[in-house]
Chains A and B, each alone.
Chain A
């Protein structure tokens, strides 16, 4: 019934108390918002909670959606704000994963069966390093690289969602990759 409706039309229906319409919005965007939250926070459980809170906040404030921006932009803004709130909450509780230099916190890592234990360990350490490097990026750079790598959005889609020029998006992504390169080069992974 809602398949042919645009996001904006679904929001209009949701404003008039059609919960099924908002359910369709959730169905369309839950994976991408979850990916964004995972890229911003680096942990599955944090990402899951942040995505849940983001959609609840969106539903509660759906009456304030003016239609001036795209629904994707609106949802991304809510999700990023929720991720930043989560990170501030974690910092206040000294649970920031950036402090977990040794990777002692639980991580979700699936080892490839064809790799040796040494290779598996090396890979796990590299993943930890990358996670920390992305976590250390400034928020605006991190958002662009997460949207590109985790949500698999095109430059044009990122430009429309963040309401930035196309050249600005590419420039931010280039800068983010440069930062990551410098961070990864400074912390070499020990090969056992």
Chain B
């Protein structure tokens, strides 16, 4: 025996408890077991502590383990009522509470919805702006704008560009005639540049255009043009920007 029967403290109390409850490292376990072999005092102490522990363990197993968990009832309603009476909740406070309780996913979803809404509103605004710009130059407006035709092919006539025509700005020094369709009129105006000589071919074109019934209500259809008669008419001419396109 290491301590000669003396109930002196060997300093293994903490290790003894850890050993009893099997919460001990392997090295410490071996150390304690080695000590037990050589120390009868600690061995007796260990036996008594183990017996006491087992009694409590047995008591817990016999009288507690089979007991059902009691159903805990919390009076939530009364507390909520008190809170509602004392703390007025506005829309923003309620929204904040909703977002804070729902957590990050709800906030992310809300932010995404806001971004989509703003983007959609911007898109609609831009589209409406384009439509209003396009609608500013309407056929009805063009009707009021006089179309210039050239009777004398040698005569150089200055005709204002379509882009220069504003719906409310009247054209000056222009002989009003029957309104033509928009693309025809545009074609006419694009072709007629200041100081530009109009050829005989153009005059024929003009005559044929003038003889056609004006399309007042709807946009011209490409298929209605007879390519054999009016070879110079091209789709690209309708969108001639003055850079090139005439052949």
Contacts and interface: CB of A to CB of B under 8 A. Distances in A.
A171 B72 contact: no
Interface stretch (A64-72, A86-94, A95-103, A172-180): A172-180
A130 B56 CA distance: 7
Contacts of A131: 59, 63
Contacts of A133: 55
B113 to A, nearest CB: 22
B70 A155 contact: no
Interface string A137-151: 000000001001110
B97 A149 contact: no
B180 interface: no
Nearest to A5: B103
A149 B57 contact: yes
Contact of B17 (A60, A174, A180): A174
Interface string A49-79: 0011001100110000000000000000000
Contacts, number: 111
B29 to A, nearest CB: 15
Interface size of B as a range: 35 or more
A154 to B, nearest CB: 6
Contact of A155 (B21, B52, B59, B60): B21
A16 interface: yes
A26 B72 contact: yes
Interface stretch (B74-82, B181-189, B231-239): B74-82
A130 B75 CA distance: 36
Contacts of A22: 74, 76
B60 A39 contact: yes
A31 B58 contact: no
B245 to A, nearest CB: 67
Given A44-B67, A130-B59, A155-B21, A17 B14 contact: no
Given A31-B69, A148-B21, A154-B23, A13 B49 contact: no
13 contacts: A19-B74, A23-B74, A55-B74, A109-B63, A131-B63, A148-B21, A149-B56, A154-B23, A155-B23, A170-B18, A174-B17, A180-B55, A180-B56
Interface of B: 13-14, 16-18, 21, 23, 48-49, 51-53, 55-60, 62-64, 66-67, 69-70, 72-76, 79-80, 83, 97, 100-101
Interface of A: 13, 16-19, 22-23, 26, 30-31, 34-35, 38-39, 44, 48, 51-52, 55-56, 59-60, 107-110, 123, 126-127, 130-131, 133-134, 145, 148-150, 154-155, 167, 170-171, 173-174, 177-178, 180-181, 184
